[in-house]
Structure 1
Amino acid sequence: MIAPHSRPAALPEHHPALQAFLSQAVPAVMGVLNVTPDSFSDGGHFTAPEQALAQARRMIAEGAEIIDLGAESTRPYGSQPISADEELQRLRPVLGDVVALGVPVSVDSMKASVIAWALGAGASIANDVWGLHRDPDMARVVAEHGAPVVVMHNRDTVDPTIDIIKDILAFFARSLEIAAKAGIPGGHIVLDPGIGFGKTPEQSMTVLARLGELQSFGLPLLVGASRKKFISTVTPSEPQQRLGGSIAAHLLATQRGARIIRAHDVAETVQALRVAAAIEEFR
């Protein structure tokens, strides 16, 4: 069943860029838009500004309520780090036109200087795949702009021997300490357990199975299982062949409290979430 949204009374109101879709019955879909040549699933498809803008329009028409714009591949295996200048060169021709489409735009970057530029240029949300841990200026930049931030769990190395839930809980606790020290309100924070990042496929599935334990922070959860490698360990498949597995994982995530689903296949994901919610109305 689609978990009802609730917010502890002690938390401040959600940031306006989050409030509308966090208060609705059906979880929101965040559409993935990578303007990169090397992302694991769609690298090179939307590097031209006109291609990126057309894809953003398509995803919004299909029901995406947020566009997540990334200009550096953060795939766990084989990605090549790039400079802030190169990342900005990829973002500058695209961001303004995507923002003008009228839905909140998050920018997926681990660099505070890139996030500072993007928030100043109209982006609404910072999406940090290192959960405020990696760039020491990230929390300050987010706080100064008064922006919401997606705090994602990550690890430099995969360790199959650890208790991954315990690791995530400790990571998020530290993220929230960093956020509080910088002056980021609790109502501006979304937690992402980082499916596929610094985790074995089995650990990613453990996180999805035990996602409800992460609700202990009283903050909204975002899950991005779209086309991830763990699906192929269950049913061998290439990234573009993992739609069924992605939807299964995302529906289970919403049952366990996820309020935002990050997906490549927006139309199919929106349909699945809406149909599941409609069926629940007949319980």
Structure 2
Amino acid sequence: MKTINIKGGLLDLSTPLVMGILNVTPDSFFEGSRKETEQQIIDRVSEIINQGGTIIDIGAQSTRPTSTLLPSKEEIKRLKFALTVINREFPEAILSVDTFYSDVARFSVEEHGVAIINDISGGEIDKEMFKMAAKLNVPYVLMHMRGTPQTMGTFTDYDNLIQDIFYYFSKKIAELHFLGVNDIIIDPGFGFSKTLDQNYELMASLNGFSIFEKPLLVGVSRKRMISGLLETTPAESLNGTTVLNTFALHNGADILRVHDVKEAVEAVKITEKILSFCQ
């Protein structure tokens, strides 16, 4: 049975969980996810919880290719406001912080009780992140990306896409284990350092990630791999998101990171019902 340690207790992943996205930024790629005022933050967290989301992933920095890299101090400033509101209104909520800065991770965990670090850079942007994850002793989401959000589009050449990504995870997991980090969640990094076709090749190979024996997080919500293929927009990409989430669930996803919690929870419920007859 897959579990992760959340504040001294075990969070069961035998049934896939939904992680709802909360962006406290003015420039995230999906306009509907941007929440900056106190009431917007309260409403969004309430929505995630009421619709069946288990984890709230809060990010204060946009990772779209045209974004500007914020310094950690500005990220902390945005997070401090949001986390103060959330902890006051929803003290039992399980929070994840979407950051690649070790000092932001420390601030979020030590001062505001955040339970998970979600690092899109795999410890590459801030070389102290792995050591900080070990010190904080919380689950760490290890994502595959090359370069930075601003340069990742130039790093899409692979000798063998799947083999290269598997090697990346093997190396990074070994580094984390050496430092004492054992609660590792793998994120293949859909949309990061991958072309449209590479994203779908990766999705087709998703069940291969079971070799790592780690929880698998899939985040495809309203991404360009959907709107680019369907020639639509992020706002019109909910149906495509649900299709990919359902495929991911059939192929080993343990956590779905999404903007649309209700639809993802329904996908989990239906998929689990089908799979119960495939035992």
State if a TM-score over 0.5 links the two structures: yes
2:137 alignment partner in structure 1: 146
Alignment of 1:1-283 (within 5 A): 6=1, 14-16=4-6, 19-23=10-14, 25=15, 27-42=16-31, 45-75=34-64, 77-100=65-88, 101=90, 102-120=92-110, 121-156=112-147, 157-160=154-157, 162-185=159-182, 188-282=183-277
Per-residue deviation, residues 124-176 of structure 1 (Å, max 9, x unmatched): 00000011233121111111111000000001233255422122112112211
Q: 240-249 or 155-164, which moves further after superposition?
A: 155-164
- Structure-1 separation of matches of 2:168 and 2:87: 31
- Structure-1 separation of matches of 2:21 and 2:114: 15
SS of equivalent to 1:67: strand
Q: 221-230 or 149-158, which moves further after superposition?
A: 149-158
**Partners of 1:35 and 1:43 within 8 A in 2:** no
- Residue 244 of structure 1: CA displacement? 0.8
**Partners of 1:71 and 1:91 within 8 A in 2:** yes
> Residues 271 and 43 from structure 1, CA distance in 2 versus in 1: closer, same or farther, beyond 3 angstroms?
closer
- Residue 206 of structure 1: CA displacement? 0.9
- Structure-2 separation of matches of 1:245 and 1:211: 17
**Partners of 1:150 and 1:191 within 8 A in 2:** yes
Question: Structure 2: which amino acid aligns with 1:98?
Answer: I
- Structure-1 separation of matches of 2:159 and 2:47: 41
Question: Structure 2: which amino acid aligns with 1:167?
Answer: D
- Structure-1 separation of matches of 2:277 and 2:104: 46
**Partners of 1:34 and 1:42 within 8 A in 2:** no
Structure 2 gaps, min length 5: 148-153
SS of equivalent to 1:258: coil
**Partners of 1:34 and 1:43 within 8 A in 2:** no
SS of equivalent to 1:80: coil
Question: Structure 2: which amino acid aligns with 1:89?
Answer: K
**Partners of 1:132 and 1:178 within 8 A in 2:** no
- Structure-2 separation of matches of 1:216 and 1:167: 15
Per-residue deviation, residues 18-64 of structure 1 (Å, max 9, x unmatched): 832413x3x10000101011111137730223212210111110011
Structure 1 gaps, min length 5: 1-5, 8-12
Q: State the TM-score, normalizing by the size of structure 1.
A: 0.89
- Point out which structure has higher relative CO (alpha carbons under 8 A, 6+ apart): 1
Question: Structure 2: which amino acid aligns with 1:50?
Answer: Q
- Residue 180 of structure 1: CA displacement? 2.0
- Structure-1 separation of matches of 2:107 and 2:197: 37
- Structure-1 separation of matches of 2:83 and 2:97: 9
- Residue 99 of structure 1: CA displacement? 3.8
2:151 alignment partner in structure 1: none
> Residues 65 and 108 from structure 1, CA distance in 2 versus in 1: closer, same or farther, beyond 3 angstroms?
same
**Equivalenced residues, count:** 268
- Residue 97 of structure 1: CA displacement? 3.0
- Structure-2 separation of matches of 1:280 and 1:176: 29
> Residues 161 and 139 from structure 1, CA distance in 2 versus in 1: closer, same or farther, beyond 3 angstroms?
closer
- Structure-1 separation of matches of 2:87 and 2:197: 37
Seq. identity, %: 35
1:10 alignment partner in structure 2: none
Q: RMSD value over aligned CA atoms? A: 1.8
Per-residue deviation, residues 235-258 of structure 1 (Å, max 9, x unmatched): 111101101110111111111111
SS of equivalent to 1:20: strand
- Structure-2 separation of matches of 1:279 and 1:19: 26
Question: Structure 1: which amino acid aligns with 2:43?
Answer: A
